Copies of this chain bind each other. A is one copy, B any other.
Amino acid sequence: MTVGSPNAIVIIKTRPADTCSHCDVRHRSVCSAIDAEDLSRLASAAVQQQFAKGHVFIEEGQPAHDFFNITRGTAKLFKTLPDGRQQITGFAGVGHFLGLAVSETYSFSAEAIEPVGTCRFSRAKLLTMLGDFPALEKRLLETACNELVAAQEQMLLLGRKTARERVASFLAGRLQETEHGETKGDSISLPMTRAEIADYLGLTIETVSRTLSKFKADGRIATPSRDGVIILDPHWLSEVAAGHESALA
Protein backbone atom coordinates (compact mmCIF):
# COMPACT_ATOMS: atom_id res chain seq x y z
CA MET A 1 0.00 0.00 0.00
CA THR A 2 3.04 2.26 0.29
CA VAL A 3 3.25 4.76 -2.50
CA GLY A 4 6.29 6.56 -3.79
CA SER A 5 9.71 6.29 -2.21
CA PRO A 6 9.29 7.77 1.33
CA ASN A 7 8.74 4.69 3.46
CA ALA A 8 9.63 2.00 0.96
CA ILE A 9 12.77 -0.07 0.91
CA VAL A 10 14.34 0.62 -2.44
CA ILE A 11 17.87 -0.42 -3.24
CA ILE A 12 19.39 0.89 -6.42
CA LYS A 13 22.70 -0.17 -7.79
CA THR A 14 24.03 0.32 -11.27
CA ARG A 15 24.93 -2.88 -13.03
CA PRO A 16 28.42 -3.58 -14.30
CA ALA A 17 28.61 -4.10 -18.03
CA ASP A 18 28.57 -7.87 -17.84
CA THR A 19 25.76 -8.34 -15.35
CA CYS A 20 23.25 -9.39 -17.99
CA SER A 21 25.50 -12.22 -19.16
CA HIS A 22 25.39 -13.64 -15.65
CA CYS A 23 21.66 -13.09 -15.25
CA ASP A 24 20.04 -16.39 -14.32
CA VAL A 25 16.55 -15.35 -15.40
CA ARG A 26 17.53 -13.93 -18.77
CA HIS A 27 16.37 -16.98 -20.68
CA ARG A 28 12.93 -16.57 -19.13
CA SER A 29 12.47 -12.99 -20.27
CA VAL A 30 12.48 -10.86 -23.38
CA CYS A 31 16.19 -10.28 -22.78
CA SER A 32 16.86 -13.69 -24.33
CA ALA A 33 16.25 -12.02 -27.68
CA ILE A 34 19.55 -10.17 -27.34
CA ASP A 35 22.65 -11.97 -28.58
CA ALA A 36 25.52 -12.65 -26.19
CA GLU A 37 27.79 -10.10 -27.86
CA ASP A 38 25.24 -7.31 -27.39
CA LEU A 39 24.54 -8.00 -23.74
CA SER A 40 26.85 -5.27 -22.51
CA ARG A 41 24.71 -2.71 -24.31
CA LEU A 42 21.62 -4.18 -22.66
CA ALA A 43 23.32 -4.08 -19.28
CA SER A 44 24.24 -0.43 -19.72
CA ALA A 45 20.57 0.44 -20.08
CA ALA A 46 19.46 -1.54 -17.06
CA VAL A 47 19.41 -0.70 -13.37
CA GLN A 48 18.72 -3.28 -10.71
CA GLN A 49 16.03 -2.23 -8.28
CA GLN A 50 14.42 -3.97 -5.33
CA PHE A 51 10.99 -3.29 -3.87
CA ALA A 52 9.58 -4.28 -0.50
CA LYS A 53 6.27 -6.06 -0.20
CA GLY A 54 3.47 -3.56 -0.53
CA HIS A 55 5.45 -1.02 -2.51
CA VAL A 56 3.67 0.45 -5.53
CA PHE A 57 6.39 0.90 -8.13
CA ILE A 58 4.15 1.71 -11.09
CA GLU A 59 1.26 4.10 -10.64
CA GLU A 60 -1.60 4.46 -13.08
CA GLY A 61 -1.66 7.88 -14.70
CA GLN A 62 1.96 8.73 -13.90
CA PRO A 63 4.45 9.43 -16.71
CA ALA A 64 5.79 6.15 -18.07
CA HIS A 65 9.50 6.82 -17.75
CA ASP A 66 10.61 3.24 -17.25
CA PHE A 67 10.04 -0.36 -18.17
CA PHE A 68 10.61 -3.13 -15.67
CA ASN A 69 11.62 -6.73 -15.94
CA ILE A 70 10.84 -8.88 -12.91
CA THR A 71 13.80 -10.94 -11.71
CA ARG A 72 12.46 -12.04 -8.33
CA GLY A 73 9.13 -12.23 -6.51
CA THR A 74 5.66 -11.39 -7.74
CA ALA A 75 3.81 -8.15 -8.45
CA LYS A 76 0.12 -7.50 -8.92
CA LEU A 77 -1.04 -5.32 -11.82
CA PHE A 78 -4.27 -3.50 -11.19
CA LYS A 79 -6.60 -0.66 -11.97
CA THR A 80 -8.75 1.18 -9.46
CA LEU A 81 -11.98 3.16 -9.50
CA PRO A 82 -12.33 6.49 -7.67
CA ASP A 83 -14.17 4.90 -4.74
CA GLY A 84 -11.47 2.30 -4.19
CA ARG A 85 -12.87 -0.66 -6.08
CA GLN A 86 -9.92 -2.55 -7.51
CA GLN A 87 -9.45 -4.97 -10.38
CA ILE A 88 -6.26 -6.95 -10.60
CA THR A 89 -5.54 -7.59 -14.27
CA GLY A 90 -2.74 -10.04 -13.66
CA PHE A 91 0.10 -11.25 -11.51
CA ALA A 92 3.59 -10.69 -12.88
CA GLY A 93 6.18 -13.28 -11.93
CA VAL A 94 9.85 -13.77 -12.76
CA GLY A 95 10.63 -12.90 -16.37
CA HIS A 96 7.54 -10.76 -16.83
CA PHE A 97 8.05 -7.54 -18.76
CA LEU A 98 6.10 -4.53 -17.44
CA GLY A 99 5.21 -1.26 -19.05
CA LEU A 100 4.32 -2.32 -22.56
CA ALA A 101 2.33 0.66 -23.73
CA VAL A 102 2.36 3.28 -26.42
CA SER A 103 0.94 5.89 -24.10
CA GLU A 104 3.07 8.45 -22.28
CA THR A 105 1.50 7.45 -18.98
CA TYR A 106 1.03 4.10 -17.29
CA SER A 107 -2.43 2.67 -17.78
CA PHE A 108 -2.23 0.48 -14.67
CA SER A 109 -0.51 0.25 -11.31
CA ALA A 110 1.93 -2.39 -10.08
CA GLU A 111 2.57 -3.38 -6.47
CA ALA A 112 4.98 -5.93 -5.03
CA ILE A 113 3.00 -8.61 -3.19
CA GLU A 114 6.25 -10.13 -1.98
CA PRO A 115 9.82 -8.81 -2.11
CA VAL A 116 10.44 -8.04 -5.76
CA GLY A 117 13.61 -7.62 -7.75
CA THR A 118 13.53 -5.84 -11.10
CA CYS A 119 15.67 -4.63 -13.92
CA ARG A 120 14.59 -1.13 -14.75
CA PHE A 121 15.08 0.20 -18.29
CA SER A 122 14.64 3.80 -19.24
CA ARG A 123 11.88 4.08 -21.78
CA ALA A 124 13.98 6.23 -24.07
CA LYS A 125 16.94 3.85 -24.13
CA LEU A 126 14.79 0.82 -24.69
CA LEU A 127 12.91 2.43 -27.55
CA THR A 128 16.15 3.19 -29.36
CA MET A 129 17.33 -0.35 -28.74
CA LEU A 130 14.13 -1.60 -30.34
CA GLY A 131 15.25 -0.19 -33.65
CA ASP A 132 18.68 -1.83 -33.39
CA PHE A 133 17.47 -5.25 -32.29
CA PRO A 134 14.54 -6.46 -34.40
CA ALA A 135 14.60 -9.73 -32.48
CA LEU A 136 13.75 -7.84 -29.32
CA GLU A 137 10.82 -6.18 -31.01
CA LYS A 138 9.62 -9.54 -32.29
CA ARG A 139 9.90 -10.94 -28.80
CA LEU A 140 7.90 -8.06 -27.35
CA LEU A 141 5.22 -8.56 -29.98
CA GLU A 142 4.99 -12.22 -29.02
CA THR A 143 4.74 -11.28 -25.38
CA ALA A 144 2.02 -8.73 -26.07
CA CYS A 145 0.05 -11.27 -28.11
CA ASN A 146 0.26 -13.84 -25.37
CA GLU A 147 -0.93 -11.32 -22.81
CA LEU A 148 -3.76 -10.37 -25.11
CA VAL A 149 -4.88 -13.97 -25.32
CA ALA A 150 -4.71 -14.25 -21.53
CA ALA A 151 -6.67 -11.01 -21.18
CA GLN A 152 -9.43 -12.34 -23.43
CA GLU A 153 -9.60 -15.50 -21.38
CA GLN A 154 -9.89 -13.39 -18.25
CA MET A 155 -12.70 -11.35 -19.81
CA LEU A 156 -14.58 -14.58 -20.39
CA LEU A 157 -14.04 -15.45 -16.75
CA LEU A 158 -15.10 -12.07 -15.41
CA GLY A 159 -18.07 -11.68 -17.70
CA ARG A 160 -19.57 -15.13 -17.82
CA LYS A 161 -18.18 -17.60 -15.28
CA THR A 162 -19.70 -18.40 -11.88
CA ALA A 163 -17.79 -18.00 -8.63
CA ARG A 164 -17.06 -21.77 -8.58
CA GLU A 165 -15.72 -21.66 -12.11
CA ARG A 166 -13.63 -18.56 -11.41
CA VAL A 167 -11.90 -20.04 -8.40
CA ALA A 168 -11.42 -23.34 -10.22
CA SER A 169 -9.95 -21.49 -13.21
CA PHE A 170 -7.61 -19.61 -10.92
CA LEU A 171 -6.33 -22.76 -9.26
CA ALA A 172 -6.05 -24.56 -12.58
CA GLY A 173 -4.12 -21.66 -14.04
CA ARG A 174 -1.74 -21.58 -11.13
CA LEU A 175 -1.25 -25.31 -11.46
CA GLN A 176 -0.39 -25.01 -15.14
CA GLU A 177 2.07 -22.21 -14.49
CA THR A 178 3.95 -23.98 -11.72
CA GLU A 179 4.05 -27.25 -13.62
CA HIS A 180 5.74 -25.44 -16.46
CA GLY A 181 8.51 -24.49 -14.07
CA GLU A 182 8.96 -27.73 -12.23
CA THR A 183 6.84 -30.82 -12.22
CA LYS A 184 6.40 -31.33 -8.53
CA GLY A 185 3.09 -33.07 -8.15
CA ASP A 186 -0.13 -31.12 -7.86
CA SER A 187 0.87 -28.68 -5.20
CA ILE A 188 0.66 -24.95 -5.80
CA SER A 189 1.52 -21.88 -3.78
CA LEU A 190 -0.56 -18.75 -3.44
CA PRO A 191 1.73 -15.81 -2.65
CA MET A 192 -1.25 -13.44 -2.81
CA THR A 193 -3.88 -12.85 -0.13
CA ARG A 194 -7.55 -13.81 -0.42
CA ALA A 195 -8.34 -10.15 -1.03
CA GLU A 196 -6.00 -10.16 -4.02
CA ILE A 197 -7.47 -13.37 -5.37
CA ALA A 198 -10.90 -11.78 -5.02
CA ASP A 199 -9.81 -8.61 -6.80
CA TYR A 200 -8.37 -10.75 -9.57
CA LEU A 201 -11.51 -12.85 -10.00
CA GLY A 202 -14.06 -10.07 -9.60
CA LEU A 203 -15.40 -11.53 -6.36
CA THR A 204 -15.28 -10.72 -2.64
CA ILE A 205 -12.93 -12.16 -0.03
CA GLU A 206 -15.80 -14.05 1.55
CA THR A 207 -16.88 -15.74 -1.66
CA VAL A 208 -13.32 -16.84 -2.42
CA SER A 209 -12.94 -18.23 1.08
CA ARG A 210 -16.29 -19.99 1.02
CA THR A 211 -15.62 -21.50 -2.39
CA LEU A 212 -12.21 -22.79 -1.34
CA SER A 213 -13.79 -24.24 1.81
CA LYS A 214 -16.39 -25.98 -0.33
CA PHE A 215 -13.71 -27.45 -2.62
CA LYS A 216 -11.92 -28.66 0.50
CA ALA A 217 -15.06 -30.16 2.03
CA ASP A 218 -15.76 -31.95 -1.26
CA GLY A 219 -12.28 -33.46 -1.21
CA ARG A 220 -11.13 -31.67 -4.36
CA ILE A 221 -8.28 -29.78 -2.70
CA ALA A 222 -6.33 -29.74 0.55
CA THR A 223 -4.87 -26.71 2.29
CA PRO A 224 -1.86 -27.70 4.37
CA SER A 225 -0.92 -24.07 4.98
CA ARG A 226 -2.29 -20.61 4.38
CA ASP A 227 -0.52 -20.11 1.08
CA GLY A 228 -0.31 -23.71 -0.02
CA VAL A 229 -2.92 -25.75 -1.87
CA ILE A 230 -2.81 -29.36 -3.00
CA ILE A 231 -5.00 -30.24 -5.95
CA LEU A 232 -6.52 -33.63 -5.18
CA ASP A 233 -8.71 -33.80 -8.27
CA PRO A 234 -7.04 -31.96 -11.17
CA HIS A 235 -9.37 -33.38 -13.79
CA TRP A 236 -12.49 -32.26 -11.95
CA LEU A 237 -10.90 -28.85 -11.42
CA SER A 238 -10.13 -28.31 -15.09
CA GLU A 239 -13.60 -29.47 -16.09
CA VAL A 240 -15.23 -26.97 -13.75
CA ALA A 241 -12.79 -24.28 -14.87
CA ALA A 242 -13.73 -24.92 -18.50
CA GLY A 243 -17.40 -24.41 -17.73
CA HIS A 244 -18.60 -28.02 -17.64
CA GLU A 245 -20.25 -27.23 -14.36
CA SER A 246 -23.57 -28.98 -14.72
CA ALA A 247 -21.96 -32.13 -16.07
CA LEU A 248 -20.31 -32.85 -12.72
CA ALA A 249 -21.52 -33.04 -9.14
Contact = CB atoms under 8 A, between A and B. Distances in A.
A154 interface: yes
Interface of A: 77, 79, 81-83, 85-87, 89, 100-103, 107-108, 130-131, 134, 137-138, 140-142, 144-149, 151-156, 158-161, 199, 201-202, 242-246
Contacts of A152: 77, 79, 89, 107-108, 151
A154 B148 CA distance: 12
Contact of A81 (B134, B137, B160): B160
Nearest to A155: B89
SS class of chain A's interface: helix, strand, loop or mixed? helix
Contact of A102 (B86, B131, B146): B146
A79 to B, nearest CB: 5
A162 B138 CA distance: 39
A87 B166 CA distance: 14
A137 to B, nearest CB: 6
